[in-house]
Chain A
């Protein structure tokens, strides 16, 4: 009888690992973006940029949490969770912007640019890391792993 995959292995959560890596890297990237925003738009730009970086990180962590949680219950639920998660995350983003847009310190241009640059930059950074670690952080080659070459 063939084994069927109906849900994710509860012991592993690669999405969560990827999202945690992205959040860590955001901490490295954020000061650079804040300095650039500070030079260009002053303190208002710094505040707007920090909100944008925070939203991007929350977006990644929320996406990973939703996928991991749903996948552990059922792969069928994963489909629904992906769709509703997409709507929910766009809603969170839109809600945050609508709530903050009238604040006197809110600068929309650095905010929008930071959203795109941070999202794509962090993703490219993580993809480079994942590609370099055999497409899966858990399989990152180490000196003691089977098949590795000791120098």
Chain B
């Protein structure tokens, strides 16, 4: 009887760990989608701006780089949640 209970307790802990890993994976995946869309939008608009106004390319490139890095911070936060929860 005790061995069965112990086995179920281990199995429960495994299930919790598995759900934790699953949740962390989902969190990382979902956290990467938003920045992916954001970065695409930033670069697309920056290229459009550089095509319209080539003389402002330096300023646009600087702003684009900073924008990409800020957007990427969201993915980084998702990644940190992933490593703290899941692995």
Q: Is A35 in contact with chain B by the CB < 8 A criterion? A: no
Q: Is B73 in contact with chain A by the CB < 8 A criterion? A: yes
Q: How far is the CA of A14 from the CA of B40 in the complex (A)?
A: 20
Question: Contact partner of A119 among B50, B57, B73, B83, CB < 8 A?
Answer: B73
Q: How far is the CA of A71 from the CA of B54 in the complex (A)?
A: 13
Contact present for B79 and A123 (CB under 8 Å): no
Chain B residues with CB under 8 Å of A15's CB are 61-62, 65
Q: Is A130 in contact with chain B by the CB < 8 A criterion? A: yes
**Shortest CB–CB separation between residue A55 and chain B, in angstroms?**
10
Q: Mark A36-64, 1 if CB is under 8 A from B, else 0.
A: 00000000000000000000000110011
Q: Mark A117-151, 1 if CB is under 8 A from B, else 0.
A: 00110010011001000111111000000000000
Question: Contact partner of A9 among B40, B57, B65, B80, CB < 8 A?
Answer: B57
Q: How many residues of A contact B (CB 8 A)?
A: 49
Chain A residues with CB under 8 Å of B65's CB are 14-15, 18-19, 63-64, 67
Give the bracket for the number of chain B residues in contact with chain A.
20 to 34
With A78-B43, A98-B87, A112-B83 in contact, is A60–B62 under 8 Å at CB?
A: no
Q: Is B77 in contact with chain A by the CB < 8 A criterion? A: yes
Chain B residues with CB under 8 Å of A90's CB are 32, 75, 79
Question: Contact partner of B43 among A64, A82, A135, CB < 8 A?
Answer: A82
**Shortest CB–CB separation between residue A12 and chain B, in angstroms?**
6
Q: List 23 A-B contacts (CB under 8 A).
A: A3-B54, A8-B61, A12-B58, A17-B62, A18-B62, A18-B65, A60-B69, A67-B61, A67-B68, A86-B35, A86-B39, A90-B32, A93-B76, A93-B79, A97-B79, A115-B79, A120-B73, A130-B62, A130-B66, A135-B62, A136-B58, A136-B62, A138-B58
